[in-house]
């Protein structure tokens, strides 16, 4: 279910999770994803790790934000989310992290499957 994915040219695994997630979700390279987020951050007067900044890139590319049902807020994991979403592309916000779920698989530089999702973006 977890597939190691790290398009960062320096193979960094920290601080750029939104860039990696957006690169996967938009099917582009790390540099292009970084540039899109950086431009939005500059225009918004905010940093690239800001949820509002990277979220605006997704919105501009046809994604819509959804909430996670509050049925079990402490026990519903990213692995559960991936299992419940076998079709489509989703960028999932987690505590201090972001990952992409595509076709029921978690794409991330490390196994984040046990983290609890906060909200997600889905391709409309």
Q: What domains, with CATH codes, occur in the chain?
A: 13-123 (3.90.70)
Q: Kindly report the backbone phi and psi dihedral angles of residue 56, in degrees, each rounded to the nearest multiple of 5, phi listed first.
A: -65, -35
Asked if residue 27 has pLDDT above 90, the reply is: yes
What's the predicted TM-score (pTM) here?
A: 0.95
Band (pLDDT 50/70/90 cuts) for residue 124 is confident
For 30-77, the pLDDT digits (tens) are 999 999 999 999 999 999 999 999 999 999 999 999 999 888 878 999
Extract the tokens encoding 120.
């997600």
Strand ordering across the sheet containing 105-108: 2-4, 105-108, 97-102, 89-94, 119-123, 63-67
């Amino acid at each position: 279910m977890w597939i190691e994915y790290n398009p960062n040219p320096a193979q960094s695994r920290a601080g750029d999770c939104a860039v990696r997630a957006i690169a996967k979700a938009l099917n582009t390279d790390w540099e292009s994803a970084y540039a899109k987020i950086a431009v939005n951050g500059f225009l918004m007067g905010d940093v690239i790790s800001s949820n509002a900044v990277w979220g605006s890139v997704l919105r501009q590319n046809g994604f819509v934000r959804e909430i996670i049902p509050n049925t079990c807020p402490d026990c519903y994991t990213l692995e559960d989310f991936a299992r419940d979403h076998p079709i489509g592309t989703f960028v999932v916000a987690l505590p201090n992290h972001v990952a992409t779920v595509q076709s029921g698989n978690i794409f991330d530089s490390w196994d984040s499957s046990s983290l609890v999702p906060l909200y997600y973006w889905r391709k409309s």
